[in-house]
Each structure stands twice: as C-alpha cells, then as structure tokens.
Amino acid sequence: MSLNSSQVKKVMLEIGETVEKNKEFLTELDLAIGDADHGINLTKGFRAVATKLSATETDDIGEIFTLVGMTLVGNVGGASGPLYGTAFMRAGSYAAGKTSLIADDFVGILEAAIGGIKMRGKAEAGDKTMLDALIPALNAFQEALKQGITVHGALTKAVEAALAGVNYTKEIQARKGRASYLGARSIGHQDPGATSTYLMLRTISKAVQTQGQPEK
Amino acid sequence: MVGVVIVSHSLKIAEGAKELASQMTPDRIPLAVAGGTKDGRLGTDAEQVRSAIESVYSDDGIVILYDLGSALMSTELAIEELPAIQQARVAVVHAPLVEGVVTAVVEISLNKNWESIIVTLQEMDFGKAP
C-alpha cells in the first residue's frame, strides 16, 4: 500500500492543524531570537493552503505540492514563506505526474526540499535553520531503510533525528536569518524553523502510520 | 532611464527611502516600492515585488535594493517569475538600503547606464550579500 493523492492532501491539511496548534509555541521561540512571527506567519500560510486545496480536484501529487508551495510564498510574509514555499515547489517538481508515493519517494521529496532550502536560503547544515532538522531526518530515514527496518520504523527514526537536530540548534550560533544579528546570544535557544520542520515531519509520520504502510 | 525597486519588510521604510532619495533630484526617476505583506503585516511578498518591478521596468534596466534576508528571498522568487528577457535586465544589489537608493537615484539622474550603476552600488556592500 502507498499514499495516494487524497491522503497526501489530508496530510497537508494535518500539517496546517499542527502548525495552528503550535502557533504560540513557535512564535514564542521566534520572540527569543527572531521577529516573533513564525507561528503567526505559518498559520496564515497554511490556512490559505487549506482553502486552495479544498478548491482543487487534481490527483497529481506534484501539482498538490506545487500549489502548497506557491500558496506559502504568497501568504506567509516571513522568511519561512520563500523557504518552505521553495521546498514544496521543488517537491512538486520531483513528484510531477505521480498519483501515489512510496518510501523511495519520501527520500526524493526530502532531497528536493533540502536542495530548495539550501538554494533559497544559501544555508548549510549547522547554520541553525530548518536544515538542521531536515537533513538528519533524511539521513536517518535512508539509514533505517538500508538496515531493513520497516517504513513505519524508518519514519519514527527520521522524526527522532529531526528532534535531535532541533535540540542541537540550541547549542549553536545562528549564521542565517534574523537570529544571526544576535550573534552568540542566539546560543541556548532552539531554532523556530527547525522546530516547525520537526513538527511537520512528526505530522507526516503520524499520518502515514495511521493511513497506510508505503511500499519499499 | 534605469529604474529602482525598494523591497522592505516595512512599507514605511520603503516609502521613506523613496521619499528621501526623491529629494536628490528634480527628475522623475522610475522608483517603485514593495513593503510589508498584502494584509499589512511586516514582511515581504514575492507577488508585490514582481508588480513593483513590472511597474517601472524598461529595457534600460532595473536595480533592486532590499533590507533584510527574506526580502532578498522574496525578490529572487519574484525575478524567477519574470520572462527571461526581463530577468536579464534586473539586478539585485547588496548596498545598504537607504544609502543605496539615494546613490542609485543620483547615478540615474546623471544618466549613468545600468551596468555602471550596478558596479557603484555593489561597491557599497558591507557584507550584506549572503
């Protein structure tokens, strides 16, 4: 079994619900080292995503991701708009024409998203950004699949690695984004972008665990 | 005439920079602003940046000045949406916003071409380029 288009749409809506539930939390994290709008901005963006998704009939998962990305670009306002927007648009190019996703596609999607965020934000691992959650998640997922662990197990590993990445962002100094203006004072605070990335991955994992087991 | 686009998280900053720069010359310089989000929050919006570019675009070229990091990201997204022929005549420069806009307007009023204005403005980069 694999994730079909309507399941993917549902996961996108669930990501929006998670973001909304964590709106204050994310904004508070951003208050400490940024411009105190991360949760508010992402909530605006994903509310717009929900509206757009309810109005589309497409089965093309590439088109779904592209729509999510374009909507985030147009409605978020903060840096997470261009960054998540580009990530989803790149995922959209990867998934173009697909009507279902298997585990290997999750690898392809994460790779595309990471490439997009690196390009748009000129960031690398260790800059205290969303990449510090996303890259460890991808590595853990691939490693788990290689070891013959089930897709559900691999997703759990990916989410654990993302959370470890979020915790790692507390120890390092921001080199990108508004937090970089704080210099060493950004140390001790977890990165809001890495945190929202972790929350999204956790939502995806939870949804896949309940919706179905993707084929390897 | 070369055009200028100001991209800021704040509409007030964008309009203020425009006002200040316009004082430098009696000429009407093609100068457009994109500041804040559609719903009046602080932030930037690629669609607004694109409309600002289109509103002052000519083949003489456009220079874009921005304030903080995500203004640059929104600007890059906006440029990617332009037809290739226009993309080739739109340059983002990393000069400080206020000084850069004032300098750009002065250079344009002296009838400098796009290429030389870009060089002048890039020399003002104090480490803003990512």
Spans of all domains in chain B: 3-122
Which pLDDT score, from 0 to 100, does residue A176 have? 94
Residue A197 sits in a domain whose CATH number is 1.25.40.340
The shortest CB-CB distance from B43 to any of A77, A83, A121 is to A77
On whether residue A122 sits in a domain, the answer given is: yes
Q: Is A183's Cβ below 8 Å from some Cβ in B?
A: no
Q: Is A86's Cβ below 8 Å from some Cβ in B?
A: yes
Q: Looking at the predicted structure, is the pLDDT value of residue A1 above 60?
A: no
Which residues of chain A are within 8 Å of residue B37 when distances are taken between CB atoms? Answer: 77
Q: Is B44's Cβ below 8 Å from some Cβ in A?
A: yes
Could you say which residues of chain B have pLDDT below 70?
Answer: none
Q: Looking at the predicted structure, is the pLDDT value of residue A64 above 90?
A: yes
Give the total number of structural domains in chain A.
1
Which residues of chain A are within 8 Å of residue B70 when distances are taken between CB atoms? Answer: 78-79, 81-82, 177
User: Is 3.40.50.720 the CATH classification of the domain at B3-122?
Assistant: no
On whether residue A76 sits in a domain, the answer given is: yes
Q: What is the mean pLDDT of chain A?
A: 95
- For residues A4-18, give the mean pLDDT: 96
On whether residue A216 sits in a domain, the answer given is: no
On whether residue A215 sits in a domain, the answer given is: no
Residue A3: helix, strand or coil by DSSP?
Answer: strand
On whether residue A20 sits in a domain, the answer given is: yes
Q: Is B56's Cβ below 8 Å from some Cβ in A?
A: no
CB A38 within 8 A of CB A22: no
Which pLDDT score, from 0 to 100, does residue A132 have? 98
For an interface test with B, which of A35, A88, A176 has the most B Cβ atoms less than 10 Å from its Cβ? A35
pLDDT in tens, A109-161: 999 999 999 999 999 999 999 999 999 999 999 999 999 999 999 999 999 99
pLDDT in tens, A19-63: 999 999 999 999 999 999 999 999 999 999 999 999 999 999 999
**First and final CA of chain A: distance in angstroms?**
10
The shortest CB-CB distance from A74 to any of B41, B45, B68 is to B45
Tell me the CB-side half-sphere exposure of residue A93, using CA atoms within 13 A: 11
pLDDT in tens, A157-216: 999 999 999 999 999 999 999 999 999 999 999 999 999 999 999 999 999 988 755 555
Element (H, E) at A82: helix A80-94
Which residues of chain A are within 8 Å of residue B38 when distances are taken between CB atoms? Answer: 74-75
For residue A98, give its domain range.
3-210
Please tell me the distance from the alpha carbon of residue B97 to that of residue B103, in angstroms, as a whole number.
10
Which pLDDT score, from 0 to 100, does residue A86 have? 97
Reference A177, options B13, B46, B45, B70; nearest CA is B70
Q: Do B46 and A73 count as a contact with CB atoms less than 8 A apart?
A: yes
